[in-house]
């Protein structure tokens, strides 16, 4: 990301995404890196899975509590209680 020009697009593909947690984890990491580097780039994440039911559940964007390994800042800025989305 450091070498990307302003306005560039970064595309990431997550195959076998199952619940979508992998894709959201990458989204959080990339958004934090973009902020830390002060970059103005677009991030696109494409998540796929052979199980259409898994994709349907992932699209609901409802996840269990954040991982204890996630910083409190990341958790509070990335996840919101059901019905309280921004």
pLDDT digits (tens, 9 = 90+) for 8-55: 999 999 898 777 778 888 888 899 899 999 999 999 998 888 988 888
Task: Please work out, in degrees rounded to the nearest 5, the angle formed at the alpha carbon of residue 86 by the alpha carbons of 25 and 56.
Answer: 55
Q: Residue 55 in 3-state DSSP?
A: helix
- Looking at residue 53, its pLDDT comes to 86
According to DSSP, residue 67 is labeled: P
Residue pair 84/51 in contact (Cβ under 8 Å)? The answer is no
0.75 cut: is pTM over it?
no
Residue pair 30/65 in contact (Cβ under 8 Å)? The answer is no
Give, for 10, the enclosing helix (H) or strand (E). Answer: strand 9-15
């Amino acid at each position: 990301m450091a070498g990307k020009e302003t306005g560039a697009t970064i595309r990431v593909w997550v195959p076998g995404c199952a619940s979508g947690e992998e894709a959201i984890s990458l989204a959080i990491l990339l958004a934090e890196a973009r902020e830390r580097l002060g970059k103005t780039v677009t991030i696109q994440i494409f998540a796929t899975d052979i199980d259409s039911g898994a994709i349907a559940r992932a699209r609901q964007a409802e996840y269990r509590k954040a991982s204890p390994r996630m910083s409190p800042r990341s958790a509070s800025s990335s996840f919101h209680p059901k019905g309280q989305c921004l």
